[in-house]
Amino acid sequence: MAKLIDGKLISAQIRSEIKEETNVFIKSHGYAPGLAVVIVGENPASQVYVRNKARACEEVGFYSEVHALPTETTQEELNALVDRLNADDKIHGILVQLPLPKHLDETEVLLRIDPNKDVDAFHPYNVGNIMIGNYKFLPCTPAGVMALLERSGIDPAGKNCVVIGRSNIVGKPMAMLLLHANGTVTVCHSKTKDLAAVCREADILVVAIGRADFVGADMVKPGAVVIDVGMNRRADGKLTGDVNFSEVEPIASAITPVPGGVGPMTITMLLKNTLTAAK
């Protein structure tokens, strides 16, 4: 039976530490770290995320603003808001909730955010710093995975680490962070030959592809650590990850559940980035 890596518990511990640090920060500076979240349109999942972010800010003592813009917002209007937030001393972190409506250029918006306020770490300046290992901010989900490993006593150094997925948000930065932690890293994707065989070499397997129950027992080496970044909704409405938990849990040494694994860590790492930006 695998050890369950409890993201809720670890997230709560880190948030408690952030709250303490925030109290010290407020006492010495006279103001709270500030986060502005911008959401355009009516995407229900995005609205849930934004509400959760606002609640998390309140929990740790941050100042927060939510800018909810209508779907028909123009590029010029969105750019002007980002410019205003860049210039606002109360705001230390800016997050534009993706995806944006189709008529808006995500790249243009991300480039416009001041890199020192880019708490999602999506600006090319911050992506480049992650590449060379000289970073202030880390993308929230990969940073959350690294925190889960660290606090569970799992050291990637010298281990075979396989990442399934090569997105700019999770897969690529995840590979870089494991590499910085001295793991030997393989990145797999839709063109990888004999994916199952590659995955069976992994001491640490990170799955981030957005396909429900994709990884089964035949893809996992006995004793491997399995980190499931996926968040998919089944036909019956239940959430499930990219890993078939019931198949893989008996053979893994440690595994994250869905929900309650990587998910709670993402917003927690956003809080950590915002506190870093304020400092």
CB 241 within 8 A of CB 170: no
Residue with tokens 């800010």: 57
Rounded Cα distance between 197 and 268, Å, is 34
In the chain, what's the furthest Cα-to-Cα distance? Answer: 57
H or E element at residue 77: helix 75-86
Rounded Cα distance between 121 and 177, Å, is 13
Phi, psi of 235 (to 5 degrees): -60, -30
Q: Which residues are CB-contacts of 258 (< 8 A; sequence separation ≥ 6)?
A: 228, 230, 231, 239, 240, 241, 243, 245
Q: What number of CA atoms fall less than 13 Å from residue 171's CA on the CB side?
A: 17
Q: How many residues does the chain have?
A: 279
**Which stretches in the chain have pLDDT values below 70?**
none
The dihedral built from the CA positions of residue 33, 38, 39 and 45, taken in this order, carries a sign that is negative
Q: Which residue ranges form the domains of the chain, and what is each CATH number?
A: 30-114 (3.40.50.10860), 140-263 (3.40.50.720)
Catalytic residues: 53, 97, 120
Q: Could you read off the pLDDT of 6-26 as tens digits, one per residue?
A: 999 999 999 999 999 999 999
pLDDT score for 1: 82
Residue 139's nearest CA partner among 119, 162, 115, 159 is: 119
Rounded Cα distance between 161 and 175, Å, is 8
pLDDT score for 43: 82
Q: Could you read off the pLDDT of 167-209 as tens digits, one per residue?
A: 999 999 999 999 999 999 999 999 999 999 999 999 999 999 9
